[in-house]
Amino acid sequence: MIRGMFSAASGMQATTKKMDVISNNLSNSATTGFKASRAEFKDIFSAIVRAPGVQNADGTVSPVGIQIGHGVMLSSVAHDFAQGSPIQASTDPKDVTVMISGQGFFKIQLPDGQTGYTRDGTFHLDKTGQIVTADGYPVVGPTSIPSNASVVSINQNGTVSYTDPSAPPQNAIVPAGHFVLARFPNPQGLFAVGNNMFKESDASGTAISDNPDNDGMGFLRQHYQEASNVDLVGEMVDMIITQRSYEIGSKAISTADEMLSVVKDLKR
């Protein structure tokens, strides 16, 4: 019974961590480009009372044996990189918000010199005309766009251009670089570092860089944002199931305690 109490306690600890994951998903349901997480579990090593396949005293072989589990533990928290729905963000001709329809990630130059990767294409023009994230980090690829540009265009293949009303001929279209996207052999292995940003790791594999619309990167859609892929109804149902699992674990502990109390009070 003591062992059963610890097994039930492990279940309560696991469901507490799962509730943390669910709460984080729900709180980021409106975060642009957010990818929902899911908690994954594994059972704890079983105590082998009798191994399967051992020979019994009468010469027969035990087909299943006796193995008693010690509970459950969290094995991983995996991201769901399924595509989020497109949401129109703006109709401003100079707005540089853009989303990826496909598997790729935007490449971002971080202050420490490393490259970050994000699905959040809520970009802006800084005072120098550079396309940057909301935190001011430069996006890899596009060059600066002058302040007098009347229209900024981002094609689905990543080509950036702008309309210059002062250049001859009037309203000439001037190229301004090209977005570069990245994808990974195992995106589940990326480091999530906050601010909608990921970093490469040994588990993710080396980034494969290419232009949008090539090699499975996906194409770009200007003036659109990628919505979070959190399924609110599914998360609410999962939350209720998790709560009930926690209550069952608590009930198992209290029941085992009552059984121990009965044993303690037995008299010869």
Judge whether residue 268 has pLDDT over 60.
Answer: no
Residue closest to 116 by CA, chosen among 196, 36, 37: 196
Judge whether residue 178 has pLDDT over 70.
Answer: yes
pLDDT score of 167: 66
pLDDT score of 50: 77
pLDDT tens profile 111-142 = 999 999 999 999 999 999 999 999 999 999 99
pLDDT band at 103 (very low <50, low <70, confident <90, very high): very high
Lowest mean pLDDT across 158-167, 216-225, 232-241 = 158-167
pLDDT tens profile 32-51 = 999 999 999 988 877 777 78
- In this prediction the pTM is 0.84
pLDDT score of 92: 92
pLDDT band at 106 (very low <50, low <70, confident <90, very high): very high
pLDDT score of 1: 64
Q: How does the average pLDDT of the chain come out, rounded?
A: 90
pLDDT tens profile 139-174 = 999 999 998 888 999 999 999 999 988 767 777 888
pLDDT score of 27: 96
Taking the C-alpha atoms of residue 238 and residue 94, their distance in angstroms, rounded to an integer, is 42
For residue 157, what are the contacts with CB-CB under 8 A and spacing of at least 6? 211, 212, 213, 219, 220
pLDDT score of 187: 94
